[in-house]
A and B are shown apart, each in its own frame.
Chain A
Amino acid sequence: MEQRAVMAEPTIDERVIEACKEGDREAFRMLFEAYKDRVFSIAVYSFGGDEAAASDVSQQIFLKLITSIGQFRGESAFTTWLYRMVVNACIDEQRKRSRLLPFGDAPPVSRIEDRRPQEKHFAGLEVSSFVQAAIKELTPKLRMPILLKYGEGLSYDEIADVLGCSTGTVASRLNRGHQSLAKKLSHLKGEVF
Protein backbone atom coordinates (compact mmCIF):
# COMPACT_ATOMS: atom_id res chain seq x y z
CA MET A 1 0.00 0.00 0.00
CA GLU A 2 1.19 3.42 -0.79
CA GLN A 3 2.09 5.46 2.26
CA ARG A 4 2.41 8.70 0.38
CA ALA A 5 0.01 11.33 1.60
CA VAL A 6 -1.93 12.31 -1.50
CA MET A 7 -3.00 15.92 -1.34
CA ALA A 8 -6.44 17.04 -2.35
CA GLU A 9 -6.67 18.95 -5.62
CA PRO A 10 -6.89 22.64 -4.81
CA THR A 11 -10.11 24.32 -5.83
CA ILE A 12 -8.36 27.30 -7.35
CA ASP A 13 -9.96 28.62 -10.50
CA GLU A 14 -9.53 31.69 -12.68
CA ARG A 15 -11.81 33.78 -10.47
CA VAL A 16 -9.60 33.25 -7.44
CA ILE A 17 -6.52 34.16 -9.46
CA GLU A 18 -8.24 37.25 -10.87
CA ALA A 19 -9.30 38.23 -7.34
CA CYS A 20 -5.69 37.84 -6.21
CA LYS A 21 -4.60 40.11 -9.03
CA GLU A 22 -7.08 42.71 -7.75
CA GLY A 23 -5.59 42.49 -4.28
CA ASP A 24 -8.26 40.42 -2.56
CA ARG A 25 -6.60 39.09 0.56
CA GLU A 26 -9.19 36.38 1.13
CA ALA A 27 -8.53 35.05 -2.35
CA PHE A 28 -4.82 35.07 -1.61
CA ARG A 29 -5.50 33.18 1.61
CA MET A 30 -7.38 30.55 -0.44
CA LEU A 31 -4.42 30.31 -2.79
CA PHE A 32 -2.07 29.95 0.16
CA GLU A 33 -4.17 27.23 1.78
CA ALA A 34 -4.35 25.30 -1.49
CA TYR A 35 -0.62 25.29 -2.15
CA LYS A 36 1.15 25.82 1.18
CA ASP A 37 1.93 22.14 1.84
CA ARG A 38 3.11 21.53 -1.72
CA VAL A 39 5.40 24.55 -1.71
CA PHE A 40 6.69 23.73 1.76
CA SER A 41 7.36 20.06 0.88
CA ILE A 42 9.46 20.94 -2.15
CA ALA A 43 11.35 23.46 -0.04
CA VAL A 44 11.98 20.95 2.76
CA TYR A 45 13.51 18.47 0.33
CA SER A 46 15.50 21.21 -1.38
CA PHE A 47 17.04 22.26 1.94
CA GLY A 48 17.98 18.79 3.10
CA GLY A 49 15.17 18.56 5.65
CA ASP A 50 15.84 21.95 7.23
CA GLU A 51 12.26 22.98 8.00
CA ALA A 52 13.24 26.44 9.24
CA ALA A 53 14.97 27.20 5.94
CA ALA A 54 12.01 25.72 4.09
CA SER A 55 9.63 27.93 6.04
CA ASP A 56 11.71 31.02 5.21
CA VAL A 57 11.83 30.27 1.51
CA SER A 58 8.11 29.36 1.43
CA GLN A 59 7.36 32.73 2.96
CA GLN A 60 9.45 34.45 0.29
CA ILE A 61 7.71 32.46 -2.43
CA PHE A 62 4.22 33.45 -1.31
CA LEU A 63 5.21 37.09 -0.91
CA LYS A 64 6.71 37.03 -4.38
CA LEU A 65 3.58 35.31 -5.64
CA ILE A 66 1.31 38.09 -4.43
CA THR A 67 3.47 40.84 -5.85
CA SER A 68 3.99 39.18 -9.22
CA ILE A 69 0.71 37.41 -9.80
CA GLY A 70 -0.28 40.30 -12.07
CA GLN A 71 2.33 38.98 -14.50
CA PHE A 72 0.57 35.64 -14.78
CA ARG A 73 -1.08 35.73 -18.21
CA GLY A 74 -2.57 32.25 -18.25
CA GLU A 75 -0.26 31.10 -21.05
CA SER A 76 0.56 28.02 -19.01
CA ALA A 77 -1.31 26.35 -16.17
CA PHE A 78 -1.17 28.31 -12.93
CA THR A 79 0.46 25.35 -11.17
CA THR A 80 3.22 25.26 -13.78
CA TRP A 81 3.84 28.97 -13.25
CA LEU A 82 3.83 28.51 -9.47
CA TYR A 83 6.12 25.46 -9.48
CA ARG A 84 8.53 27.28 -11.76
CA MET A 85 8.66 30.07 -9.17
CA VAL A 86 9.17 27.53 -6.37
CA VAL A 87 11.97 25.72 -8.19
CA ASN A 88 13.76 28.97 -9.04
CA ALA A 89 13.38 30.34 -5.51
CA CYS A 90 14.77 27.14 -4.01
CA ILE A 91 17.73 27.14 -6.40
CA ASP A 92 18.47 30.83 -5.70
CA GLU A 93 18.27 30.33 -1.96
CA GLN A 94 20.46 27.23 -2.14
CA ARG A 95 23.08 29.22 -4.01
CA LYS A 96 23.00 31.95 -1.38
CA ARG A 97 23.26 29.47 1.46
CA SER A 98 25.95 27.37 -0.16
CA ARG A 99 28.19 30.42 0.00
CA LEU A 100 27.59 30.64 3.74
CA LEU A 101 27.04 27.14 5.09
CA PRO A 102 27.80 23.54 4.16
CA PHE A 103 24.60 22.25 2.58
CA GLY A 104 22.35 19.66 4.13
CA ASP A 105 22.25 18.30 7.63
CA ALA A 106 19.89 15.42 6.94
CA PRO A 107 20.96 12.04 8.26
CA PRO A 108 22.62 10.19 5.40
CA VAL A 109 21.08 6.92 4.28
CA SER A 110 24.08 5.04 5.56
CA ARG A 111 23.34 6.20 9.09
CA ILE A 112 19.81 4.94 8.88
CA GLU A 113 21.08 1.66 7.47
CA ASP A 114 23.09 1.18 10.64
CA ARG A 115 19.92 0.44 12.54
CA ARG A 116 19.51 -3.09 13.83
CA PRO A 117 17.93 -5.52 11.36
CA GLN A 118 14.93 -6.22 13.56
CA GLU A 119 14.07 -2.55 13.52
CA LYS A 120 13.97 -2.66 9.75
CA HIS A 121 11.09 -5.10 9.99
CA PHE A 122 8.92 -2.30 11.22
CA ALA A 123 9.68 -0.82 7.85
CA GLY A 124 6.06 -0.40 6.85
CA LEU A 125 6.24 2.94 8.57
CA GLU A 126 9.94 3.44 8.08
CA VAL A 127 10.16 3.06 4.32
CA SER A 128 9.05 6.61 3.78
CA SER A 129 11.76 7.89 6.12
CA PHE A 130 14.39 5.88 4.22
CA VAL A 131 13.02 7.30 0.98
CA GLN A 132 13.00 10.78 2.46
CA ALA A 133 16.67 10.49 3.43
CA ALA A 134 17.64 9.03 0.05
CA ILE A 135 15.85 11.78 -1.85
CA LYS A 136 17.66 14.44 0.15
CA GLU A 137 20.93 12.87 -0.99
CA LEU A 138 20.07 13.12 -4.69
CA THR A 139 21.57 15.96 -6.68
CA PRO A 140 19.10 18.81 -7.28
CA LYS A 141 18.89 17.88 -10.98
CA LEU A 142 17.68 14.37 -10.15
CA ARG A 143 15.72 15.32 -7.04
CA MET A 144 13.42 17.95 -8.52
CA PRO A 145 11.84 15.76 -11.25
CA ILE A 146 11.21 13.06 -8.61
CA LEU A 147 9.52 15.59 -6.31
CA LEU A 148 7.40 17.03 -9.10
CA LYS A 149 6.41 13.59 -10.36
CA TYR A 150 5.68 11.79 -7.11
CA GLY A 151 5.06 14.64 -4.69
CA GLU A 152 2.99 16.82 -7.01
CA GLY A 153 1.71 14.30 -9.55
CA LEU A 154 2.90 16.25 -12.60
CA SER A 155 3.19 14.60 -16.01
CA TYR A 156 6.52 14.49 -17.87
CA ASP A 157 5.35 17.36 -20.12
CA GLU A 158 4.39 19.48 -17.12
CA ILE A 159 7.70 18.77 -15.39
CA ALA A 160 9.54 19.74 -18.58
CA ASP A 161 7.56 22.98 -18.66
CA VAL A 162 8.38 23.78 -15.03
CA LEU A 163 12.07 22.97 -15.35
CA GLY A 164 12.46 24.54 -18.79
CA CYS A 165 13.89 21.43 -20.41
CA SER A 166 12.74 18.78 -22.87
CA THR A 167 10.52 15.82 -21.98
CA GLY A 168 13.41 13.56 -22.97
CA THR A 169 15.62 15.25 -20.38
CA VAL A 170 12.94 14.72 -17.75
CA ALA A 171 12.71 11.02 -18.69
CA SER A 172 16.47 10.68 -18.55
CA ARG A 173 16.77 12.41 -15.16
CA LEU A 174 13.94 10.31 -13.74
CA ASN A 175 15.68 7.19 -15.03
CA ARG A 176 18.85 8.17 -13.20
CA GLY A 177 16.88 9.24 -10.13
CA HIS A 178 15.02 5.92 -9.96
CA GLN A 179 18.26 3.98 -10.38
CA SER A 180 19.96 6.03 -7.72
CA LEU A 181 17.11 5.46 -5.24
CA ALA A 182 17.11 1.73 -6.04
CA LYS A 183 20.86 1.49 -5.39
CA LYS A 184 20.77 3.57 -2.20
CA LEU A 185 17.88 1.56 -0.77
CA SER A 186 18.68 -1.86 -2.21
CA HIS A 187 18.53 -3.29 1.33
CA LEU A 188 14.76 -2.75 1.28
CA LYS A 189 14.29 -4.95 -1.78
CA GLY A 190 12.40 -8.10 -0.99
CA GLU A 191 11.64 -6.90 2.50
CA VAL A 192 8.86 -4.52 1.71
CA PHE A 193 8.13 -4.82 -2.01
Chain B
Amino acid sequence: MLSNHVTEDLSAYCNAELPPAQSRLVAEHLIGCNQCRAEFEEIKFGVKLAEQIPQFSAPDSLWLAIESQLEASPVNEKLTLPAHRPSFLRLWLPRFAAVAAVIVFAILLGALWIYTRESRPFWEVARLNGAPLIGSAPMNAKGQLALGEWLETDGSSRAQIEVATIGQVEIDPNTRVRLLETKPTEHRLELARGRMSARIWAPPRLFFVDTPSGVAADLGCAYTLEVDDAGASLLHVTSGWVALQLREIESIVPAGAACATRPGIGPGTPYFEDASDVFKSALTKLDFDSGLTEESRAPLLNQILSESRLRDTLTLWHLMYRMQGSQREQVFERMALLSPPPKEVTRDGCLRLDDKMLHLWKGYLENSWSGDSRLKKVWVDAWTRGVMGMGKR
Protein backbone atom coordinates (compact mmCIF):
# COMPACT_ATOMS: atom_id res chain seq x y z
CA MET B 1 0.00 0.00 0.00
CA LEU B 2 2.87 2.37 0.77
CA SER B 3 5.18 1.41 -2.08
CA ASN B 4 4.11 4.16 -4.46
CA HIS B 5 3.60 7.60 -3.00
CA VAL B 6 0.70 9.61 -4.35
CA THR B 7 2.01 13.16 -3.98
CA GLU B 8 1.72 13.89 -7.72
CA ASP B 9 -1.98 12.99 -7.64
CA LEU B 10 -2.94 15.05 -4.61
CA SER B 11 -4.22 18.17 -6.38
CA ALA B 12 -6.18 16.06 -8.85
CA TYR B 13 -7.57 14.12 -5.86
CA CYS B 14 -8.63 17.33 -4.11
CA ASN B 15 -10.16 18.68 -7.32
CA ALA B 16 -12.07 15.41 -7.94
CA GLU B 17 -10.23 14.98 -11.24
CA LEU B 18 -9.18 11.37 -10.66
CA PRO B 19 -11.21 8.37 -11.83
CA PRO B 20 -13.10 6.78 -8.87
CA ALA B 21 -10.81 3.74 -8.63
CA GLN B 22 -7.66 5.87 -8.57
CA SER B 23 -9.24 8.29 -6.13
CA ARG B 24 -9.96 5.39 -3.80
CA LEU B 25 -6.35 4.20 -4.04
CA VAL B 26 -5.10 7.66 -3.14
CA ALA B 27 -7.48 7.84 -0.15
CA GLU B 28 -6.34 4.41 0.99
CA HIS B 29 -2.68 5.34 0.65
CA LEU B 30 -3.22 8.55 2.63
CA ILE B 31 -4.49 6.62 5.62
CA GLY B 32 -1.25 4.72 6.01
CA CYS B 33 1.39 7.16 4.74
CA ASN B 34 2.34 10.04 7.03
CA GLN B 35 4.55 11.64 4.38
CA CYS B 36 1.80 11.84 1.77
CA ARG B 37 -0.76 12.87 4.36
CA ALA B 38 1.40 15.83 5.37
CA GLU B 39 1.60 16.90 1.72
CA PHE B 40 -2.13 16.30 1.35
CA GLU B 41 -2.83 18.68 4.25
CA GLU B 42 -0.68 21.34 2.61
CA ILE B 43 -2.26 20.94 -0.82
CA LYS B 44 -5.76 20.83 0.65
CA PHE B 45 -5.01 24.15 2.35
CA GLY B 46 -3.68 25.52 -0.96
CA VAL B 47 -6.87 24.41 -2.72
CA LYS B 48 -9.01 26.15 -0.10
CA LEU B 49 -7.00 29.32 -0.54
CA ALA B 50 -7.23 29.15 -4.33
CA GLU B 51 -11.01 28.82 -4.04
CA GLN B 52 -11.02 32.33 -2.55
CA ILE B 53 -9.66 33.96 -5.70
CA PRO B 54 -11.50 37.23 -6.17
CA GLN B 55 -12.63 38.19 -9.66
CA PHE B 56 -12.40 41.64 -11.17
CA SER B 57 -15.07 43.52 -13.09
CA ALA B 58 -14.03 45.05 -16.37
CA PRO B 59 -14.36 48.85 -16.34
CA ASP B 60 -17.30 50.36 -18.21
CA SER B 61 -14.84 52.32 -20.31
CA LEU B 62 -13.58 49.10 -21.91
CA TRP B 63 -16.47 48.80 -24.36
CA LEU B 64 -16.28 52.49 -25.26
CA ALA B 65 -12.59 52.09 -26.01
CA ILE B 66 -13.23 49.04 -28.16
CA GLU B 67 -16.11 50.75 -29.95
CA SER B 68 -14.04 53.79 -30.77
CA GLN B 69 -11.29 51.54 -32.11
CA LEU B 70 -13.87 49.76 -34.25
CA GLU B 71 -15.21 53.07 -35.56
CA ALA B 72 -11.73 54.09 -36.61
CA SER B 73 -10.87 50.71 -38.04
CA PRO B 74 -11.47 49.28 -41.49
CA VAL B 75 -13.21 46.34 -39.86
CA ASN B 76 -16.00 48.77 -38.96
CA GLU B 77 -17.68 48.24 -42.29
CA LYS B 78 -17.77 44.57 -41.68
CA LEU B 79 -19.25 45.11 -38.25
CA THR B 80 -22.38 47.05 -39.22
CA LEU B 81 -25.67 45.28 -39.64
CA PRO B 82 -26.76 44.84 -43.27
CA ALA B 83 -28.67 47.98 -44.31
CA HIS B 84 -31.05 46.37 -46.81
CA ARG B 85 -33.43 44.77 -44.34
CA PRO B 86 -37.15 45.45 -44.83
CA SER B 87 -38.34 48.46 -42.88
CA PHE B 88 -41.10 46.43 -41.20
CA LEU B 89 -38.51 44.15 -39.67
CA ARG B 90 -36.29 47.05 -38.76
CA LEU B 91 -39.23 48.61 -36.97
CA TRP B 92 -40.59 45.52 -35.20
CA LEU B 93 -37.56 43.32 -34.82
CA PRO B 94 -36.28 45.04 -31.68
CA ARG B 95 -39.73 44.76 -30.07
CA PHE B 96 -40.10 41.07 -30.95
CA ALA B 97 -36.57 40.53 -29.79
CA ALA B 98 -37.27 42.23 -26.47
CA VAL B 99 -40.39 40.12 -25.85
CA ALA B 100 -38.55 36.96 -26.92
CA ALA B 101 -35.65 37.87 -24.70
CA VAL B 102 -37.95 38.23 -21.68
CA ILE B 103 -39.56 34.85 -22.43
CA VAL B 104 -36.18 33.17 -22.99
CA PHE B 105 -34.82 34.78 -19.86
CA ALA B 106 -37.78 33.50 -17.84
CA ILE B 107 -37.35 29.99 -19.28
CA LEU B 108 -33.62 30.08 -18.62
CA LEU B 109 -34.22 31.29 -15.09
CA GLY B 110 -36.67 28.44 -14.49
CA ALA B 111 -34.29 25.92 -16.05
CA LEU B 112 -31.43 27.27 -13.98
CA TRP B 113 -33.50 27.00 -10.82
CA ILE B 114 -34.42 23.39 -11.62
CA TYR B 115 -30.85 22.58 -12.65
CA THR B 116 -29.26 24.06 -9.55
CA ARG B 117 -31.84 22.36 -7.35
CA GLU B 118 -31.32 19.00 -9.04
CA SER B 119 -27.55 19.22 -9.27
CA ARG B 120 -26.89 20.33 -5.69
CA PRO B 121 -24.51 17.99 -3.97
CA PHE B 122 -26.37 15.73 -1.56
CA TRP B 123 -26.01 12.83 0.84
CA GLU B 124 -28.21 9.73 0.82
CA VAL B 125 -30.45 9.37 3.88
CA ALA B 126 -32.26 6.24 5.08
CA ARG B 127 -35.16 6.36 7.51
CA LEU B 128 -34.57 4.08 10.51
CA ASN B 129 -37.70 4.89 12.56
CA GLY B 130 -40.66 7.24 12.52
CA ALA B 131 -40.98 10.14 10.12
CA PRO B 132 -37.85 12.30 9.88
CA LEU B 133 -38.23 15.56 7.97
CA ILE B 134 -35.96 16.75 5.19
CA GLY B 135 -36.62 20.44 4.83
CA SER B 136 -40.25 20.52 5.92
CA ALA B 137 -41.32 17.33 4.13
CA PRO B 138 -41.55 13.88 5.73
CA MET B 139 -39.03 11.59 4.05
CA ASN B 140 -39.76 8.21 2.48
CA ALA B 141 -37.72 5.13 3.28
CA LYS B 142 -34.86 6.71 1.31
CA GLY B 143 -34.17 10.37 0.74
CA GLN B 144 -31.51 12.89 -0.18
CA LEU B 145 -30.15 15.67 2.00
CA ALA B 146 -29.03 18.48 -0.30
CA LEU B 147 -26.49 21.16 0.52
CA GLY B 148 -28.07 23.65 2.93
CA GLU B 149 -31.02 21.40 3.81
CA TRP B 150 -32.04 20.47 7.36
CA LEU B 151 -32.79 16.94 8.53
CA GLU B 152 -34.93 16.86 11.65
CA THR B 153 -36.13 13.97 13.80
CA ASP B 154 -38.90 14.08 16.40
CA GLY B 155 -39.12 12.06 19.61
CA SER B 156 -39.81 8.81 17.78
CA SER B 157 -37.80 9.05 14.57
CA ARG B 158 -34.23 8.21 13.58
CA ALA B 159 -32.29 8.35 10.34
CA GLN B 160 -28.97 7.27 8.88
CA ILE B 161 -26.90 9.47 6.57
CA GLU B 162 -24.26 8.23 4.14
CA VAL B 163 -21.45 10.80 4.33
CA ALA B 164 -20.46 10.79 0.65
CA THR B 165 -18.22 7.71 0.41
CA ILE B 166 -16.36 8.26 3.66
CA GLY B 167 -18.70 7.16 6.41
CA GLN B 168 -22.09 7.04 8.09
CA VAL B 169 -23.88 9.17 10.63
CA GLU B 170 -26.86 8.00 12.67
CA ILE B 171 -29.27 10.69 13.74
CA ASP B 172 -31.06 10.04 17.03
CA PRO B 173 -34.54 11.31 18.04
CA ASN B 174 -35.09 15.05 18.62
CA THR B 175 -32.11 16.03 16.52
CA ARG B 176 -31.63 18.74 13.93
CA VAL B 177 -28.72 18.63 11.45
CA ARG B 178 -27.88 20.49 8.27
CA LEU B 179 -25.52 19.63 5.41
CA LEU B 180 -23.09 22.55 5.10
CA GLU B 181 -20.46 21.24 2.66
CA THR B 182 -19.55 18.14 0.73
CA LYS B 183 -16.51 18.02 -1.55
CA PRO B 184 -13.34 15.91 -1.69
CA THR B 185 -11.48 18.24 0.64
CA GLU B 186 -14.23 18.79 3.18
CA HIS B 187 -17.49 17.27 4.38
CA ARG B 188 -19.28 19.37 6.98
CA LEU B 189 -22.47 18.91 8.97
CA GLU B 190 -24.09 21.29 11.43
CA LEU B 191 -25.56 19.75 14.58
CA ALA B 192 -27.92 22.38 15.99
CA ARG B 193 -29.35 20.13 18.70
CA GLY B 194 -29.79 16.46 19.58
CA ARG B 195 -27.43 13.55 19.22
CA MET B 196 -25.57 11.87 16.36
CA SER B 197 -23.15 8.96 16.05
CA ALA B 198 -20.52 9.08 13.32
CA ARG B 199 -18.34 6.33 11.84
CA ILE B 200 -15.79 7.75 9.42
CA TRP B 201 -13.19 5.90 7.35
CA ALA B 202 -11.17 8.64 5.68
CA PRO B 203 -7.92 10.55 6.16
CA PRO B 204 -7.99 12.92 9.15
CA ARG B 205 -9.73 16.27 9.04
CA LEU B 206 -12.07 15.60 6.14
CA PHE B 207 -15.27 15.35 8.16
CA PHE B 208 -16.35 18.18 10.46
CA VAL B 209 -19.39 18.79 12.63
CA ASP B 210 -20.19 22.36 13.61
CA THR B 211 -21.98 22.81 16.93
CA PRO B 212 -22.98 26.07 18.63
CA SER B 213 -19.92 25.83 20.90
CA GLY B 214 -17.20 24.19 18.82
CA VAL B 215 -16.26 22.16 15.78
CA ALA B 216 -15.60 18.41 15.92
CA ALA B 217 -12.91 17.43 13.40
CA ASP B 218 -12.71 13.72 12.70
CA LEU B 219 -9.25 12.21 12.97
CA GLY B 220 -10.52 8.72 12.08
CA CYS B 221 -13.09 6.20 13.36
CA ALA B 222 -16.19 6.65 15.54
CA TYR B 223 -17.81 8.96 18.07
CA THR B 224 -21.10 10.32 19.38
CA LEU B 225 -21.83 13.99 19.76
CA GLU B 226 -24.78 15.58 21.50
CA VAL B 227 -25.91 19.17 21.75
CA ASP B 228 -28.47 20.44 24.27
CA ASP B 229 -30.93 23.29 23.83
CA ALA B 230 -28.47 25.76 25.37
CA GLY B 231 -25.85 24.89 22.74
CA ALA B 232 -23.55 22.97 25.09
CA SER B 233 -22.18 19.76 23.61
CA LEU B 234 -20.66 16.51 24.83
CA LEU B 235 -18.40 14.30 22.73
CA HIS B 236 -17.76 10.61 23.44
CA VAL B 237 -15.14 8.94 21.26
CA THR B 238 -15.58 5.21 20.78
CA SER B 239 -12.61 4.56 18.48
CA GLY B 240 -9.85 6.62 16.92
CA TRP B 241 -9.42 10.31 17.64
CA VAL B 242 -11.49 13.47 17.37
CA ALA B 243 -10.36 17.08 17.71
CA LEU B 244 -12.71 19.65 19.23
CA GLN B 245 -11.92 23.20 18.27
CA LEU B 246 -13.05 26.73 18.81
CA ARG B 247 -10.74 29.47 17.57
CA GLU B 248 -7.34 28.90 19.24
CA ILE B 249 -8.57 26.24 21.69
CA GLU B 250 -8.25 22.61 20.66
CA SER B 251 -8.85 19.40 22.59
CA ILE B 252 -7.66 16.09 21.18
CA VAL B 253 -9.94 13.30 22.34
CA PRO B 254 -8.98 9.61 21.97
CA ALA B 255 -11.16 6.51 22.19
CA GLY B 256 -12.66 6.02 25.63
CA ALA B 257 -12.48 9.72 26.42
CA ALA B 258 -15.04 12.50 26.42
CA CYS B 259 -15.00 16.27 26.20
CA ALA B 260 -17.64 18.92 26.84
CA THR B 261 -18.04 22.33 25.22
CA ARG B 262 -19.93 25.45 26.29
CA PRO B 263 -21.16 28.37 24.18
CA GLY B 264 -18.83 31.33 24.45
CA ILE B 265 -16.11 29.21 26.06
CA GLY B 266 -15.44 26.38 23.62
CA PRO B 267 -14.00 22.94 24.32
CA GLY B 268 -13.19 21.94 27.86
CA THR B 269 -10.37 19.58 28.84
CA PRO B 270 -10.75 15.99 27.61
CA TYR B 271 -10.95 13.21 30.19
CA PHE B 272 -11.28 9.45 30.27
CA GLU B 273 -14.79 8.39 31.13
CA ASP B 274 -13.51 5.88 33.70
CA ALA B 275 -11.83 8.65 35.72
CA SER B 276 -13.15 9.15 39.26
CA ASP B 277 -16.26 11.22 39.85
CA VAL B 278 -14.27 13.64 41.99
CA PHE B 279 -11.80 14.11 39.13
CA LYS B 280 -14.56 14.73 36.57
CA SER B 281 -16.56 17.04 38.78
CA ALA B 282 -13.51 19.19 39.63
CA LEU B 283 -12.54 19.33 35.94
CA THR B 284 -16.01 20.51 34.88
CA LYS B 285 -15.86 23.34 37.42
CA LEU B 286 -12.33 24.25 36.42
CA ASP B 287 -13.28 24.36 32.72
CA PHE B 288 -16.60 26.14 32.81
CA ASP B 289 -17.16 27.96 36.11
CA SER B 290 -16.65 31.55 35.01
CA GLY B 291 -16.63 32.87 38.57
CA LEU B 292 -13.40 31.11 39.57
CA THR B 293 -10.49 33.10 40.88
CA GLU B 294 -6.86 32.03 41.08
CA GLU B 295 -7.48 31.03 44.71
CA SER B 296 -10.69 29.11 44.16
CA ARG B 297 -9.11 27.30 41.23
CA ALA B 298 -6.32 25.88 43.41
CA PRO B 299 -8.36 23.28 45.39
CA LEU B 300 -10.03 22.08 42.20
CA LEU B 301 -6.65 21.57 40.53
CA ASN B 302 -5.40 19.78 43.65
CA GLN B 303 -8.33 17.36 43.49
CA ILE B 304 -7.65 16.68 39.82
CA LEU B 305 -3.96 16.07 40.39
CA SER B 306 -4.42 13.83 43.43
CA GLU B 307 -7.06 11.74 41.67
CA SER B 308 -5.13 11.40 38.41
CA ARG B 309 -3.88 8.03 37.14
CA LEU B 310 -1.36 7.32 34.41
CA ARG B 311 -3.94 7.51 31.60
CA ASP B 312 -5.30 10.77 33.04
CA THR B 313 -2.14 12.38 31.70
CA LEU B 314 -4.46 13.01 28.73
CA THR B 315 -6.19 15.62 30.87
CA LEU B 316 -2.99 16.85 32.50
CA TRP B 317 -1.23 17.29 29.13
CA HIS B 318 -4.07 19.57 27.96
CA LEU B 319 -4.01 21.42 31.31
CA MET B 320 -0.36 22.33 30.73
CA TYR B 321 -1.60 24.75 28.06
CA ARG B 322 -4.53 26.00 30.12
CA MET B 323 -2.88 26.60 33.48
CA GLN B 324 -0.40 29.33 34.23
CA GLY B 325 2.47 30.06 36.60
CA SER B 326 2.74 27.83 39.66
CA GLN B 327 -0.36 25.86 38.68
CA ARG B 328 1.31 24.84 35.40
CA GLU B 329 4.34 23.77 37.46
CA GLN B 330 2.08 21.60 39.65
CA VAL B 331 0.62 19.92 36.56
CA PHE B 332 4.11 19.28 35.17
CA GLU B 333 5.31 17.73 38.44
CA ARG B 334 2.34 15.36 38.59
CA MET B 335 2.75 14.33 34.94
CA ALA B 336 6.47 13.77 35.43
CA LEU B 337 5.71 11.58 38.45
CA LEU B 338 3.16 9.50 36.55
CA SER B 339 5.27 9.21 33.39
CA PRO B 340 8.74 10.81 33.35
CA PRO B 341 9.37 12.82 30.18
CA PRO B 342 11.88 11.56 27.59
CA LYS B 343 15.38 12.98 27.93
CA GLU B 344 14.88 15.50 25.11
CA VAL B 345 12.01 17.11 27.06
CA THR B 346 13.03 19.58 29.76
CA ARG B 347 11.07 21.07 32.63
CA ASP B 348 11.83 24.61 31.46
CA GLY B 349 10.77 23.78 27.91
CA CYS B 350 7.45 22.39 29.07
CA LEU B 351 6.77 25.32 31.40
CA ARG B 352 7.33 27.80 28.59
CA LEU B 353 5.02 25.63 26.42
CA ASP B 354 7.62 24.53 23.90
CA ASP B 355 5.24 22.88 21.43
CA LYS B 356 7.86 20.50 20.06
CA MET B 357 8.77 19.17 23.51
CA LEU B 358 5.18 18.86 24.68
CA HIS B 359 4.22 16.94 21.55
CA LEU B 360 7.24 14.68 21.88
CA TRP B 361 6.14 13.84 25.44
CA LYS B 362 2.57 13.41 24.23
CA GLY B 363 3.85 10.80 21.77
CA TYR B 364 5.09 8.73 24.74
CA LEU B 365 1.99 9.34 26.83
CA GLU B 366 -0.30 8.20 24.03
CA ASN B 367 0.75 4.62 24.72
CA SER B 368 -1.11 4.87 27.99
CA TRP B 369 -4.09 6.66 26.41
CA SER B 370 -4.62 4.00 23.76
CA GLY B 371 -2.35 1.45 22.09
CA ASP B 372 -1.15 2.88 18.81
CA SER B 373 -0.98 -0.46 17.06
CA ARG B 374 -4.51 -1.29 18.15
CA LEU B 375 -5.69 2.12 17.02
CA LYS B 376 -4.13 1.65 13.63
CA LYS B 377 -5.66 -1.79 13.32
CA VAL B 378 -9.13 -0.45 14.14
CA TRP B 379 -8.66 2.34 11.64
CA VAL B 380 -7.47 0.10 8.84
CA ASP B 381 -10.19 -2.44 9.66
CA ALA B 382 -12.81 0.28 9.50
CA TRP B 383 -11.42 1.45 6.17
CA THR B 384 -11.41 -2.06 4.77
CA ARG B 385 -14.95 -2.78 5.96
CA GLY B 386 -16.37 0.52 4.88
CA VAL B 387 -14.67 1.75 1.76
CA MET B 388 -13.60 -1.46 0.16
CA GLY B 389 -17.13 -2.79 0.64
CA MET B 390 -16.07 -5.84 2.60
CA GLY B 391 -18.67 -6.46 5.24
CA LYS B 392 -19.97 -2.91 5.39
CA ARG B 393 -22.95 -2.82 7.70
Contact = CB atoms under 8 A, between A and B. Distances in A.
B56 A66 contact: no
Interface of A: 2-5, 7, 11, 23-26, 28-29, 32, 36-41, 44, 51, 54-55, 58-59, 62-63, 66-67, 127-129, 131-132, 134-135, 146-147, 149-151, 155-156, 171-172, 174-175, 177-183, 185-186, 188-190, 193
Interface in B50-82: 50-59, 61-63, 65-66, 69-70, 73, 75, 78-81
Interface in B24-69: 39, 42-43, 45-59, 61-63, 65-66, 69
Contact of B55 (A26, A37, A186): A37
Interface string B1-32: 00000011111101101000000000000000
Given A40-B62, A182-B43, A175 B57 contact: no
B8 A175 contact: yes
B108 interface: yes
Interface of B: 7-12, 14-15, 17, 39, 42-43, 45-59, 61-63, 65-66, 69-70, 73, 75, 78-81, 108, 248
Nearest to A152: B55
A175 B79 contact: no
B12 A178 contact: no
B50 A180 contact: no
Contact of A4 (B14, B17, B39, B52): B52
A58 B64 CA distance: 12
A134 B49 CA distance: 10
B50 A131 contact: yes
Contacts of A131: 49-50, 52-54
A41 B42 contact: no
A62 B49 contact: no
A5 B56 CA distance: 9
A59 B46 contact: no
Given A11-B108, A28-B79, A146-B53, A175 B48 contact: no
Contact of A67 (B17, B56, B75): B75
14 contacts: A4-B51, A11-B108, A25-B80, A36-B62, A37-B55, A37-B57, A128-B52, A129-B54, A135-B50, A135-B53, A150-B51, A151-B53, A151-B55, A155-B17
A23 B45 CA distance: 47
A127 B52 CA distance: 7
A40 B49 CA distance: 21
